[in-house]
Copies of this chain bind each other. A is one copy, B any other.
């Protein structure tokens, strides 16, 4: 009658079924070398006792955890949900689980994330690198801990994967130039954002590659309010017929700011954003923007670890291009 507190082990099952522990283990793994009727007896015993294999015993024996750790410096970031969706999907596919850890700390190092992870039951780790860690250049992954960084930067010892921010800007700028615009103005973001700076660099270099000297950029802070201010400022610039904002919120803010100064989008000015995050939110506009496949980024990272299965697969650098989505905020001026 007393509640059974102790957990049930193979030993208990073996005793009840009248077989050896080994036979129980073999039944759990559905080995063909156990007679069907024996299996059934063992299974009945497992059901009766409520047996569930113990993860610790198993991992200790096997030396594998079938788990990938994910270290994030800040959890609330654009695209993180989609990335997690990707982590979870890929993990699922390989029979792995995902362990999440928030890493904070000043300074903010890969070494810190790594040592934190190493105390957890994981076979490898993914670091979402929103900001630049202090030790990026010198970091060495722990032996036996396959490490994938989510960043556009390359690393000599760790595989990396991310959206191709540079190519994103190239697509946008070339698209706008292709529509006949003479130049493309840019609304940037805070300088601490890695991906934002890469977008900025892509914008600048693509313009130069087409023989256009980049105009002075307007610095924003990711919010629509800053985009609004930028739009108002650019409304007075007669050379400004096309604006590229580093995210959709600023792009939308910019449109409203232009409108508040009597400019119409796209008749007078074309505007493009990035992230495709406003589809369900803005009812009366279809913003031209770039859609990233963050889920695919997440899957790639986990595939790299869970798919390797101990085989020391080489370091790879993967960039996943975004897709330009045409809305109604760009006008062909040719």
A residues near B, CB below 8 A?
Answer: 3-5, 7, 50, 52-57, 59-60, 63, 65, 67, 70, 72, 75-76, 80-82, 84-85, 87-89, 92, 97-102, 118-121, 142-144, 222-225, 227-228, 248-249, 252-253, 256-257, 260, 278-284
Contacts and interface: CB of A to CB of B under 8 A. Distances in A.
Nearest to A100: B98
Contact of A7 (B63, B80, B228, B252): B63
A4 B101 CA distance: 28
A68 to B, nearest CB: 10
A80 to B, nearest CB: 6
Given A75-B85, A88-B102, A121 B59 contact: yes
A99 B100 contact: yes
Given A54-B60, A56-B60, A81 B76 contact: yes
A226 B88 CA distance: 31
Nearest to A120: B97
A80 B224 CA distance: 23
Contacts of A88: 72, 75, 100-102
Given A80-B81, A100-B100, A142 B60 contact: no
B144 A7 contact: yes
Contact of A67 (B3, B87, B99): B99
Main secondary structure of the interface of A (DSSP, over half): mixed
Nearest to A81: B76
Most buried by B among A3, A56, A118: A56
Nearest to A87: B100
A278 to B, nearest CB: 7
A123 to B, nearest CB: 11
A282 to B, nearest CB: 6
B57 A252 contact: no
Nearest to A282: B224
B75 A84 contact: yes
A60 B56 CA distance: 5
B252 A283 contact: yes
Contacts of A55: 59, 65, 119-121
B52 A283 contact: no
Nearest to A223: B280
Nearest to A98: B100
A64 to B, nearest CB: 9
A222 B227 CA distance: 25
Contacts of A278: 281
Nearest to A57: B60
B99 A97 contact: yes
Top 4 closest A-B pairs, CB basis?
A224-B283, A228-B283, A253-B283, A56-B59
Given A99-B100, A228-B283, 15 more contacts: A4-B143, A50-B143, A56-B56, A67-B120, A67-B121, A72-B88, A84-B84, A85-B102, A88-B102, A97-B99, A97-B101, A98-B100, A121-B121, A224-B281, A228-B284
